[in-house]
């Protein structure tokens, strides 16, 4: 009985109510939100382009333009100090403190010689040849806490750095790499996958030939006898007892050096490394051997 009364009530309401259409449908509560701001005068109708002028048209002024004034770089005379500045070689710094951290965290193996490839493989030091980077500049920050005995090859080092390494019984060498050699050293896997022969390292240019030929800077082109004398002189200057490398258990590792033409330890110029097949191809023609050995 109750169901019948409800049905009659619904039918009676449908007879009275208007027909359902789009003009009498009400939105759900909260579906429409009022705008946060009104139109107003110039109420946000510039779309981030600002007011009149070049900012409105979005053709921005070039760097150094001062809206009609004489630019800063033309107000002063030419400085000869900056002549050829964009061509100068840069040496990204690496402190002895950070080098000690690499050794303590097992990112570097002190039982083998350390060179530029070893430092880049740590993942915490990198150089960019496009930015005129020419190698490692080992700085003396943390020289008082450096305790490792290493055989390291860098591109630039000062006298306190050399003293800090040799005080612990280590050996340091400063060596030069040309641009083509640096491209091969920075990403060795990419270089080997190209299937190109290992290039020979070129001699340093005239502006740094004296540095890499000096025994005081431990240059790789210096006379070994003069280097031994300079080691003793530096020990007397800084007041430490120079350890005897001949009596060291790691004598072979400390005496290991690269040839002035060589890039990688154990690999000669002219060899081609095939990583996919794990094969090393060596040149057999006599003129190739003479070219890479010259």
78: helix, coil or strand? Answer: coil
pLDDT of 93 > 90? The answer is: yes
Q: What is the mean pLDDT of the chain?
A: 87
pLDDT-based confidence at residue 42 (cuts at 50, 70, 90): low
What is the reported pLDDT for 50? 67
Block residue for tokens 């005379």: 77
Is residue 68 a contact partner of residue 75, using CB atoms and an 8 Å limit? no
CA distances to 8, 14, 15, 282 from 2, rounded to whole Å, are 10, 19, 20, 103
Separation of alpha carbons 277 and 208, rounded Å: 40
Total-model pTM: 0.70
Instruction: Determine what percent of the chain is predicted with pLDDT higher than 70.
Output: 92
What is the reported pLDDT for 78? 80
H helices present in 122-158, as ranges: none
Count of CB atoms within 10 A of residue 273's CB?
19
213, two tokens: 């030929």
Question: What would you report as the CA-atom Rg of the chain, rounded to the nearest whole angstrom?
Answer: 36
Structure-model confidence comparison of residues 42 and 260, the more confident one: 260
Local structure of residue 133 (DSSP, 8 states): B
pLDDT digits (tens, 9 = 90+) for 112-162: 999 999 999 998 999 999 999 999 999 999 888 999 999 999 999 999 999
Separation of alpha carbons 189 and 183, rounded Å: 11
pLDDT of 233 > 60? The answer is: yes
What is the reported pLDDT for 39? 54
pLDDT of 40 > 60? The answer is: no
Block residue for tokens 């700085």: 139
Count of CA atoms in the C-beta half-sphere (13 A) of 84: 2
What is the reported pLDDT for 43? 58
pLDDT digits (tens, 9 = 90+) for 56-76: 776 777 888 888 889 988 888
267: helix, coil or strand? Answer: coil
Which of these ranges, 2-11, 46-55, 84-93, 250-259, has the smallest mean pLDDT? 46-55
């Amino acid at each position: 009985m109750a169901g019948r009364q409800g049905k009659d009530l619904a039918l009676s309401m449908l007879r009275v109510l208007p027909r359902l259409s789009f003009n009498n449908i009400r939105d759900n509560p909260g579906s429409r939100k009022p705008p946060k701001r009104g139109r107003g005068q110039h109420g946000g109708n510039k779309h981030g382009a600002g007011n009149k002028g070049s900012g409105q048209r979005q053709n921005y002024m070039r760097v150094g333009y001062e809206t009609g004034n004489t630019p800063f770089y033309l107000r002063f005379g030419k400085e000869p100090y900056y002549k050829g500045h964009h061509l100068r070689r840069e040496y990204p710094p690496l402190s002895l403190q950070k080098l000690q951290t690499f050794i303590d965290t097992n990112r570097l193996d002190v039982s083998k010689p350390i060179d530029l490839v070893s430092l880049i493989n740590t993942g915490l030091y990198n150089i960019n040849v496009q930015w005129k980077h020419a190698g490692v500049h080992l700085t003396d920050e943390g020289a008082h806490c450096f305790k490792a005995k290493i055989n390291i090859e860098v591109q630039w080092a000062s006298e306190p750095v050399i003293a800090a390494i040799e005080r612990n019984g280590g050996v340091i060498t400063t060596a030069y790499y040309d641009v083509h050699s640096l491209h091969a050293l920075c990403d060795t896997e990419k270089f080997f996958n190209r299937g190109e022969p290992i290039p020979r390292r070129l001699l340093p240019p005239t502006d740094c030939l004296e540095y890499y030929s000096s025994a005081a800077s431990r240059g790789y082109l210096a006379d070994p006898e003069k280097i031994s004398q300079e080691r003793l002189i530096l020990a007397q200057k800084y007041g430490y007892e120079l350890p005897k490398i001949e009596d060291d258990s790691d004598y072979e590792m400390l005496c290991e050096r690269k040839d002035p033409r060589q890039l990688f330890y154990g690999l000669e110029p002219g060899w081609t490394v095939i990583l996919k097949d794990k094969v090393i191809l060596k040149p057999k023609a006599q003129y190739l051997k003479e070219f890479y050995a010259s």
